Each structure stands twice: as structure tokens, then as C-alpha cells.
Amino acid sequence: MATVSTGLFRSSLGRKYLMALSGLFLCLFLVVHLIGNLQLFAGDGGQAFNVYTYFMTHNPLIKIVAYVNYAFILLHVFDGLMLSMQNRKARPQGYAKVNQSGSATWSSRNMGILGTIILVFLVIHMKSFWFEMKFGSMPSTSYDGDPKEYKDMYTIVVAAFGQLWYVALYVLSMFAIAFHLYHGFQSGFQSIGLNHHRYMPVIKGIGMVVFSILIPALFAAMPIFFYLKSL
Ligand code: HEM
């Protein structure tokens, strides 16, 4: 068993497979995270958003999924660094991965740098929200007819999005996510062998419309909306 898992980590094919699996899981996380965060637009002073973050941090099943998520983020980052280094070493021999259409796209050639921008974003993002939620001393609030005390994450998010540099960081990072997923989503399916010629056009379409346009645009809309509201 130990040799199987070591082999999976060591071989570059195994790495690509783990990279793809973890990446596709993170795509799923992104969809759920976006739907939850859309509560910010409810126009109810933050109640729906605070109730949502309470649920996400208290539900036992979600807590387990969250740990799987952290593990996949670490695996994806580590694997990505290893693959980027391997590709760089192999590049002089002309090994640079060429995509199905015959020419590598800009996104596919820059997955490492795009991933690094996303990692920097993620560190800052986790520090401002996740760390505050878990370990910070946050304001709390309650709602009529509900005895629970809620951490007022809404106020923290709105305050963060009132700063221009922070909004700029988010918007630029969403471009990095858009280009990363433009290649990453379809490449993930190819790496796990789900690249049947009948389904590939659909997978590529979803990758382009949903993951490289819709999702990054909706995420970017949040800081922009609250910044404009604060003016
Ligand atoms: C721009 C809009 C976004 C907002 C308002 C937002 C908000 C939040 C908040 C409030 C938390 C902490 C509370 C919680 O766990 O639910 C959080 C956690 C997190 N966010 Fe975001 N987020 C945004 C975008 C993103 C993006 C684009 C990514 C990924 C690239 C991301 C990745 C994460 C991760 C990995 C966590 C930790 C989740 C966990 O503990 O299970 N977020 N976010």
C-alpha cells in the first residue's frame, strides 16, 4: 500500500492524476463557495450571509469536507510546484506540453505563475476571513426570534471590500483564476482519462463559460459592489 501511494506521488503520471483530482475537487468547492457568498447580495444587512457562515463552520459534515479541502489545496500546490519544476527542466528538449489543438495556449504555458498568483491571493484571503472567523475576536450579532449568537462576518467582509488595494487584489486574482481554470478544468478531465471526443466539447464549453467567465466575474463583482457602495 505504502509503495503504491509513494509511486503515485513519485511518477509524473501519478502526479498529474492527483493534480487533476485535487483540482477538480477545488472547482467544486469554488461553486459551493460562490453560491454561499452570493448571500452577501441579499440586501438584509448581512443576516443570510452570517447564518450561512455559521452553518459552514458548525455543521459536522461540512467540517470534515473542509479538512479534505485543506488537504487538497496543499496537495495541489505541492504537486503544481513539482510539475512546474519538472516541465521547466524538460523544456530545452522541447517537451513543453502541447495541447490537443496542436499549439499550447497562453494559459497552459503559464499554469505555474497563475497558480502562484492564486496562492498569494489565498494566503491573504485566508488571513483576512478564515483566520478571523476561527481565531479572531470578531463582533457578534443576533436576529429576532433566533436565540443564537452569530459572528458578524458580514461586517468584516464589507470593511475589507471598502479598501481599494484589497478590491484591486481580488479583481486581479479573479483574472488569474479565470485563465488558470480556462486550461485547468478541461485538462483535469483529460488527465483522469475522461476525454472522450463526444464529451470533450461540452467539458471545454463548461470550462470556458462557467469556470473562466461566470464564476470569476461573480466573485469579482462582490468586492467591486461593496467598494462602490462605500463611496
Ligand atoms: C470574492 C469573494 C469571496 C468572499 C466574499 C469570500 C469569503 C470567505 C469567507 C467569509 C470565508 C471564511 C468563512 C467560511 O469558511 O465560510 C472564506 C473562506 C475560504 N475561502 Fe473565500 N471568499 C471569496 C472568494 C474566494 C476564492 C476566489 C477562493 C479560492 C480561490 C476562496 C477560497 C476560500 C477558502 C479555501 C476558504 C476556507 C474554507 C474552509 O474553511 O472550508 N475564496 N471565504
CATH for 13-91+108-230, options being 2.115.10, 3.40.30, 1.20.1300, 1.10.3470: 1.20.1300
> Residue 170: CB within 6 Å of ligand 1?
yes
Question: Could you report the per-residue pLDDT of 187-201, keeping only the tens digit for each?
Answer: 999 999 888 888 899
Question: Is the pLDDT confidence value at 6 over 70?
Answer: no
- Nearest 5°: CA angle at 217, between 163 and 197? 150
Residue 169 in contact with ligand 1 by CB distance below 6 A: no
CB atoms within 10 A of CB 47: 17
Q: How many whole angstroms from 129 Cα to the centroid of ligand 1? A: 7
Query: What's the 213 CA to ligand 1 centre distance in angstroms?
Result: 18
Q: Name which of 8-12, 131-135, 162-166 the model is least confident about.
A: 8-12
Ordered by start, the domain boundaries in the chain are 13-91+108-230
The pLDDT tens digits of the residues spanning 17-75 come to 999 999 999 999 999 999 999 999 999 999 999 999 999 999 999 999 999 999 999 99
pTM of the model: 0.90
Contact by Cβ (8 Å): 191, 19:
yes
pLDDT for residue 213: 97
Long-range contacts from 43-46, C-beta under 8 angstroms, 24+ separation: 45/154, 46/141, 46/152, 46/153, 46/154, 46/155, 46/158
The answer, yes or no, to whether any atom of ligand 1 lies below 6 A from the CB of 56, is yes
Over 60: is that where the pLDDT of 93 sits? no
